Structure 1
Amino acid sequence: MQLPTPRGPLTAALFERLRRPPHPFDPPSAPAETPAIADEDLQLALFTCYELHYRGFEEVDEEWEWEPSLLAMRKVLERRLENGLARAVPRPPYPPDLSVRHALAELVTADDGPSLSAFLARRADLEQFREFVAHRSIYHLKEADPHTWAIPRLDGRPKAALVEIQADEYGGGRVEKMHSELFRATMRGLGLDDSYGAYLDRVPAITLAISNTMSFFGLHRRHLGALLGHLAAFEMTSSAPNRRYSTGLRRLGGDEAARRFYDEHVQADAVHEQIAAHDMCGGFVREHPSRAGDVLYGAACALTLDRLFAEHVMDHWRCGASSLRETNVMAESR
């Protein structure tokens, strides 16, 4: 993957540095006028810093990953993200008379965001569905990777539960069944570029914020509870929407190979939901009762960001506009 196009003074300065050999530098400053979750420059800069812990960029020396001055800059960016999440996501109370499983279920039930999946099932045209898939490619082409950071930080039943979920995400060791590979088949079936990060330049801040929040929770051990809650919410809100996505893609002519990613999640996530809420999060809270609030907060972050994403997409589509950063993005991929 190549470094993307800068979106402001922060990313312009950062990318200029990253194209050179690793060296100490003073973190560039940028105005903090835009709310963090909607700040294009901030979210792209943070995504770039995090990507150095995943697959990196072709023109960036791998030694940048642990360059102290870059980590110092990332810490400043993370503070803005953390504060932005705190403003956007009220910390849910944890009723002591409820199990964490039931508290998670109540959070999911109370979520009242727009049903993007219902629109895609019944009304979206092919270009809108392709747009949706381009957005989701930022995470789905590395699906499960951010949550895997939790494995070495757990023990006992919570660890075993997480490994059980992640093993399915990675196809049980069979490359053709890895969920990231199934998503590539969906992209190819829609005539999209299935290479890693192909649409990084096109997706807006909210799409990047979804991915950045996972990485933020995953890379900091103090946010372990939030990472587990995030995954639980992800699994608990997956099965029914994926059934609708498959229905919509079938309506638009998608073949079985293109729909397999969604069909697989209908079955797998119905099982994962129970494992994540009961065994993983429930087991974690039994061992660390003081961190129950962290678990619920992570779940609330996942739900809130998904709602903001749906609102962004639906608002643009109601106006007849593209939800991507350029209206001609899809034509360029053909």
Structure 2
Amino acid sequence: MAEEALEAPAKASEQLARNAGLMREAGKRLRDLSPPFAATLARGSSDQAAAFAKFLLETHVAMPTLSHAPSIGSLYRKTSPRFDGVPLIAISQSGRSPDLLAAAADARRQGAVIVAVVNDAASPLAHLAQIVIPVHAGPETSVAATKSFVCTLVALTHLAAEWSGDEALLAALETTGAVLEQAAQANWTSAVPLLRDARTMLVLGRGPTLPIAGEAALKLKETSGIHAEAFSSAEVAHGPMRLIGAGDPVLVLAPNDVAREGLVERLAEFAERGANLVVAGLEAELVPTATVLPSPRDVHPVLGAIAQIQSFYGLAEALARARGLDPDHPPHLNKVTRTL
């Protein structure tokens, strides 16, 4: 897991170069298509990437985006005929999960334009799609996806930038390798003592970092057996905050855009309850009682969010080891989940 995570910055840079022409063509095709909405299709870590795609498409492309549950097409056979001409972004590291394949095939029969974002460009999902976007992460053997997830986020950002023609986002992508390398070298292990004995915890994000919080919570479950749940920092007061008391850990992945509004005040409420705050993306003086983790400064908010998950993987691996667990072979899990 640790070795593969450290490969992500170079793999992402390679991907951006190899996919440059493909992405320009895909962006133009999607602009010309001018769909009324877009949809995503994914499970597991890929579904967190799909949530990131939704954020990107709605904020940068002004494209309403829904999450199409795989079981709707694969199990219930209820795909809407209104998918005609709608891009369905199917995200899968392996491209082999039976339910995703069945749902994508059903949606294509209903007229959807399948956009496959896959690590294996020779996979059945890639063969099914009209547009194939390889993430070029290379072989990944750890059950816990790391470099494939980071590369998928970069690919989705590249697609959104070309689709929208967002010059600022396109320019930011040129710095991807350097930003991710800085993030890969950031040491988050100061949080290990606070999380080593945790059984439950919250992971907070908002805007571009909410899907990152979702992926972090999933990895904490997978690799460390911690019942971690992700929430928006804007929504956490609607019930989940009741669960936090003295000594309870809260991991906060602060966004670097307008979504951070009100975050410092919300964290002060957690601090008053005695929570152990672990915070990335905020200056230490804003959260004086928290353990503050290093994050790249002065970067585009989208890249800043991707950088946070890059740094988090080092923490997740170290935390699992500190708990006496093997993050590469978590019990009851497989690399390809064959949901029917």
TM-score under structure 2 normalisation? 0.30
TM-score under structure 1 normalisation? 0.30
Determine which structure has greater relative contact order: mean sequence separation of CA pairs < 8 Å that are 6+ residues apart, divided by chain length.
1
Determine which structure has the larger helix proportion and give its number: 1
